[in-house]
Amino acid sequence: MKKGDIILCSAICVFSALLALLFLTFKNNGKTLIVKVDNKPLYEYSLGTDREIELEHNTAVIKDGEVYMLEADCKNQICVRTGKISKRGECIVCLPNRVILEIK
Ligand SMILES: [Zn+2]
Protein backbone atom coordinates (compact mmCIF):
# COMPACT_ATOMS: atom_id res chain seq x y z
CA MET A 1 0.00 0.00 0.00
CA LYS A 2 1.19 3.48 -0.80
CA LYS A 3 1.19 6.26 1.76
CA GLY A 4 -1.64 7.97 -0.10
CA ASP A 5 -3.75 4.84 0.11
CA ILE A 6 -3.29 4.62 3.86
CA ILE A 7 -4.30 8.25 4.30
CA LEU A 8 -7.33 7.75 2.09
CA CYS A 9 -8.27 4.58 3.94
CA SER A 10 -8.05 6.16 7.37
CA ALA A 11 -9.94 9.20 6.10
CA ILE A 12 -12.75 6.93 4.98
CA CYS A 13 -12.66 5.13 8.33
CA VAL A 14 -12.89 8.39 10.29
CA PHE A 15 -15.62 9.63 8.01
CA SER A 16 -17.78 6.54 8.41
CA ALA A 17 -17.22 6.56 12.18
CA LEU A 18 -18.40 10.17 12.28
CA LEU A 19 -21.38 9.29 10.13
CA ALA A 20 -22.31 6.43 12.45
CA LEU A 21 -21.97 8.70 15.46
CA LEU A 22 -24.14 11.34 13.81
CA PHE A 23 -26.72 8.73 12.95
CA LEU A 24 -26.80 7.42 16.52
CA THR A 25 -27.14 10.91 17.97
CA PHE A 26 -29.93 11.67 15.58
CA LYS A 27 -31.62 8.40 16.44
CA ASN A 28 -31.48 9.12 20.15
CA ASN A 29 -32.69 12.69 20.00
CA GLY A 30 -35.02 12.80 17.06
CA LYS A 31 -38.17 10.76 17.24
CA THR A 32 -40.21 10.09 14.19
CA LEU A 33 -43.90 9.64 13.70
CA ILE A 34 -44.83 7.01 11.17
CA VAL A 35 -48.30 7.31 9.70
CA LYS A 36 -49.56 4.02 8.39
CA VAL A 37 -52.72 3.54 6.38
CA ASP A 38 -53.81 0.02 5.46
CA ASN A 39 -50.66 -1.17 7.23
CA LYS A 40 -48.46 0.66 4.74
CA PRO A 41 -46.14 3.39 6.02
CA LEU A 42 -47.29 6.47 4.13
CA TYR A 43 -45.67 9.42 5.87
CA GLU A 44 -42.85 10.17 8.25
CA TYR A 45 -42.64 13.29 10.35
CA SER A 46 -40.16 14.50 12.92
CA LEU A 47 -41.69 15.10 16.34
CA GLY A 48 -39.49 18.16 16.58
CA THR A 49 -41.77 20.15 14.30
CA ASP A 50 -45.33 21.02 15.28
CA ARG A 51 -47.82 20.27 12.56
CA GLU A 52 -51.27 19.04 11.69
CA ILE A 53 -51.59 15.97 9.54
CA GLU A 54 -54.78 15.73 7.54
CA LEU A 55 -55.68 12.26 6.44
CA GLU A 56 -58.76 11.16 4.59
CA HIS A 57 -60.72 10.30 7.73
CA ASN A 58 -58.45 11.46 10.54
CA THR A 59 -56.59 14.52 11.66
CA ALA A 60 -53.47 13.97 13.72
CA VAL A 61 -51.46 16.63 15.49
CA ILE A 62 -47.81 16.87 16.46
CA LYS A 63 -47.31 19.37 19.24
CA ASP A 64 -44.38 19.81 21.64
CA GLY A 65 -43.00 16.39 20.77
CA GLU A 66 -46.32 14.66 21.41
CA VAL A 67 -48.77 13.14 19.00
CA TYR A 68 -52.51 12.86 19.30
CA MET A 69 -55.54 12.29 17.15
CA LEU A 70 -57.45 15.53 16.96
CA GLU A 71 -60.39 14.35 14.95
CA ALA A 72 -61.68 11.18 13.41
CA ASP A 73 -64.89 10.24 11.68
CA CYS A 74 -64.90 6.73 13.11
CA LYS A 75 -67.78 5.65 15.32
CA ASN A 76 -65.88 4.39 18.35
CA GLN A 77 -63.49 7.37 18.66
CA ILE A 78 -60.99 5.12 20.41
CA CYS A 79 -58.13 6.78 18.55
CA VAL A 80 -59.18 10.24 19.74
CA ARG A 81 -59.61 8.99 23.30
CA THR A 82 -56.18 7.32 23.28
CA GLY A 83 -54.76 10.72 24.10
CA LYS A 84 -51.17 11.81 23.63
CA ILE A 85 -48.24 9.57 22.83
CA SER A 86 -44.61 10.57 22.88
CA LYS A 87 -42.51 7.49 23.59
CA ARG A 88 -40.88 5.18 21.11
CA GLY A 89 -43.06 2.18 20.33
CA GLU A 90 -46.29 3.84 21.38
CA CYS A 91 -49.07 4.07 18.86
CA ILE A 92 -52.56 5.31 18.23
CA VAL A 93 -54.74 2.98 16.23
CA CYS A 94 -57.91 3.84 14.40
CA LEU A 95 -59.18 0.43 13.48
CA PRO A 96 -62.26 1.47 11.48
CA ASN A 97 -60.17 3.71 9.22
CA ARG A 98 -57.10 1.44 9.31
CA VAL A 99 -54.88 4.31 10.41
CA ILE A 100 -51.92 3.78 12.70
CA LEU A 101 -49.79 6.51 14.21
CA GLU A 102 -46.58 5.01 15.50
CA ILE A 103 -43.57 6.59 17.14
CA LYS A 104 -40.18 5.29 16.15
ZN1 LIG B 1 -60.74 6.19 15.15
**pLDDT string in tens for the chain (104-residue length):** 788 888 888 998 899 999 888 877 655 556 999 999 999 999 999 999 999 999 999 999 999 999 999 999 999 999 999 999 999 999 999 999 999 999 99
Give residue 58 CA to ligand 1 midpoint distance, Å.
Answer: 7
Give residue 44 CA to ligand 1 midpoint distance, Å.
Answer: 20
Identify the pLDDT of residue 25. 67
Q: Could you write out the DSSP letters of every residue in the chain?
A: --HHHHHHHHHHHHHHHHHHHHHHHHHHH--EEEEEETTEEEEEEETTS-EEEE-SSEEEEEETTEEEEEEE--SS-HHHHT--B-STT-EEEETTTTEEEEE-
Give residue 79 CA to ligand 1 midpoint distance, Å.
Answer: 4
Give residue 78 CA to ligand 1 midpoint distance, Å.
Answer: 5
Give residue 60 CA to ligand 1 midpoint distance, Å.
Answer: 11
Q: What is the pTM of this model?
A: 0.72
